[in-house]
Chains A and B, each alone.
Chain A
């Protein structure tokens, strides 16, 4: 019997954006508050899994036309890049740097290279979770 999923699909579309924005908030708040790359990545992957539940796997792949295995590589590149980037400035491996900048919209903001490392963690977590779920979902 063909079921009518209109309520679930409409709510999934709205809730998806709420989860994504909360995940981005958790990612950027990670330095001063609970959160960070791992939780943000898991929550982002959870939002995509919600779309996978509401729609089929082809529609979601059409909406996110990227191979999630590439995301693992890009994330590892970011993390290893920030770690080895400190060697250029003749300081020990994994030394981070930060400074305060006056950005036009945000005012005084502290920018830290640990955030680039966290971005790598974020990408790797999304990539690993989505690869696991899509691989299991595709096998018959």
Chain B
């Protein structure tokens, strides 16, 4: 392995672990379901994708093994994780989970009120 590939692997791994840690702190610190979901679905997605990419670069640089499963995993995670976050958020909103008391806008509520009139 060259120094460049080692550096790339190290940076990607540390960045991925850091972003996942940020997602975990967001889950603890943020006030309501929607902001927590925002932290978890964005940050954890990018973190896991960075770690998978680091794994891909590692095996490609070390053994010359082109792992198409890892690339497929990256694409799969990139497509499905935000949709999972969207579905959880929507289920929470539709079952009447309150937003944080300092939130100022609720566009979906005004839109639904317009539709009823």
Contact = CB atoms under 8 A, between A and B. Distances in A.
Contact of B90 (A3, A14, A15): A3
A22 interface: yes
Contact of A11 (B69, B75, B83, B90): B83
Contacts of B72: 18, 22
A7 interface: yes
Contacts of A3: 90, 94
A14 B14 CA distance: 31
Interface residues of A, number: 9
B86 A7 contact: yes
A3 B94 CA distance: 9
B21 interface: no
A22 B86 CA distance: 25
Nearest to B75: A18
Contacts of B79: 11, 14-15
A128 B80 CA distance: 27
Interface in B46-98: 69, 72, 75-76, 79-80, 83, 86-87, 90, 94
Nearest to A53: B87
A7 B80 CA distance: 11
A18 B72 CA distance: 8
Interface residues of B, number: 11
Interface in A14-34: 14-15, 18, 22
Nearest to B86: A7
Contacts of A11: 79-80, 83
A117 B94 CA distance: 48
Interface of B: 69, 72, 75-76, 79-80, 83, 86-87, 90, 94
What are the 10 A-B residue pairs with the smallest beta carbon separation, nearest first? A11-B83, A18-B76, A7-B86, A8-B87, A15-B80, A11-B79, A7-B83, A15-B79, A8-B83, A14-B79
Given A3-B90, A14-B79, 11 more contacts: A1-B94, A7-B83, A7-B86, A8-B86, A8-B87, A11-B79, A11-B80, A15-B76, A15-B80, A18-B72, A22-B69
16 contacts: A1-B94, A3-B90, A3-B94, A7-B83, A7-B86, A8-B86, A8-B87, A11-B80, A11-B83, A14-B79, A15-B76, A15-B79, A18-B72, A18-B75, A18-B76, A22-B69
